[in-house]
Amino acid sequence: MSPEFWGFLALRRREPQDGSSKAVTAAVPDISPQLTVAVPEISPQLPSGTNHPSFSRDAVELEQAADADVSTPKDTCTNPTAEAKLVSPETIAKVVPIGDGNALVPAYLLKTINWNVHKIATRKLLQSVFGRRVLATHNLTGKVSPAFPDKMPKAKLDEALVNDIVQTVAERCNVTENPVRTCITIKCADEGKWLRKQLTKLKAKKKEDLEKKRKAEEKKLKMNSLNLKT
């Protein structure tokens, strides 16, 4: 609850335009072109790192914090990001491309989606293609909110992947592309809130653990002093 606790989340721009952004981008060349692995439920597309045309230091910190803190808890059920490549070929074969073919989603997922409800369809695809933490730390445009010009902009979702989703939903749900994009914006916002909650929990737990440790030390000291007396 304390302001300083959220300092790194409720980010405010310190410099109007960070001159170091170019250098940072240069330092992070395109390593992997968004390989989408087949993982049942919540496929975790590698969170961030690749497609950030421009971000300033603060944004990077947010993502690192997110990566560091929330990667361990059971937010992904069975998934092993690394082990994904060791999965049997049959399972991998069940991933199919959508749109222009950049985005890959489990075939079974496509079958479960109700294409009458474009909002849900969009969210399902987003979840599958990007994973929660990417959604939480990115948005459609990567631009600052006009309503909150002091807040750090989030990174931009990979355009090609977004387009694949938008196309697919627009076609199969028979809606225009715009409501789909709006839906993406909302999903990212929602996942952002979710991430924050996760981090709050984590911090609370850490604090609690520290408290426990402190009390243990205290007790130990007390015992020691008692022993000395007798």
Name the site residues for DNA (rule: CB under 7 A). Answer: 10, 117, 119-120, 123-124, 139-149, 151-154, 178, 181-190, 192-194
- CB of 103 or CB of 136, closer to DNA: 136
Q: Closest distance between its own copies and the C-beta of residue 95, in Å?
A: 33
Q: Please, what is the minimum distance in Å from the beta carbon of residue 179 to DNA?
A: 9
Output phi, psi for 97, to 5 deg. Answer: -80, 150
β-strands 103-106, 138-139 pairing: unpaired
190 binding partner (options its own copies, DNA, none; Cβ < 5 to 8 Å by kind)? DNA
Which CB atom, from 95 or from 124, has the smaller least distance to DNA?
124
**Residue ranges in contact with its own copies by CB under 8 A:** 147-148, 179
Nearer to DNA, 102 or 139 (CB): 139
Residue 105's H or E segment, with its range, is strand 103-106
Beta bridge partners, 139, equal 156
Q: How far is the CB of 151 from its own copies (least distance, A)?
A: 11
SS3 30: coil
Q: Which does 92 bind (CB under 5 to 8 A by kind): DNA, its own copies, none?
A: none
Rounded CA separation 155/142 (Å): 5
H-run or E-run covering 82: none
Angle at 123 between CA 129 and CA 167, to 5 degrees: 70
| Min separation Cβ 179 and its own copies, Å | 7
